[in-house]
Homo-oligomer: A and B are copies of this chain.
Amino acid sequence: MSQHDLKLGHPSCGDCPIRHRAVCARCEADELAHLDAIKYYRSFQAGQTVIWSGDRMDFVASVVSGIATLTQTMEDGRRQMVGLLLPSDFVGRPGRGHAAYDVTATTDLVMCCFRKKPFEEMMISTPHIGQRLLEMTLDELDAAREWMLLLGRKTAREKISSLLAILARRDASLKAGAGACSFDLPLTREEMADYLGLTLETVSRQISALKREGVIELEGKRHVKVADIDRLIEQTGDDSDGGMLG
Contact = CB atoms under 8 A, between A and B. Distances in A.
Given A79-B153, A130-B130, A237-B74, A95 B145 contact: no
Contacts of A95: 135
Contact of A137 (B78, B137, B197): B137
Contacts of A79: 153
A28 to B, nearest CB: 19
A239 B70 contact: no
B148 A144 contact: yes
A100 B246 contact: yes
A237 B75 CA distance: 8
Question: What number of copies of this chain does the assembly contain?
Answer: 2
Interface string A85-118: 0000000011110001100000000000000000
A6 interface: no
Interface string A221-246: 00000000000000001110000001
Given A137-B137, A147-B148, A152-B196, 17 more contacts: A72-B145, A72-B148, A72-B149, A74-B239, A75-B239, A78-B237, A79-B153, A80-B152, A80-B153, A100-B142, A101-B145, A124-B127, A130-B130, A130-B131, A134-B137, A148-B148, A151-B151
A71 to B, nearest CB: 9
Contacts of A237: 74-76, 78
A83 interface: yes
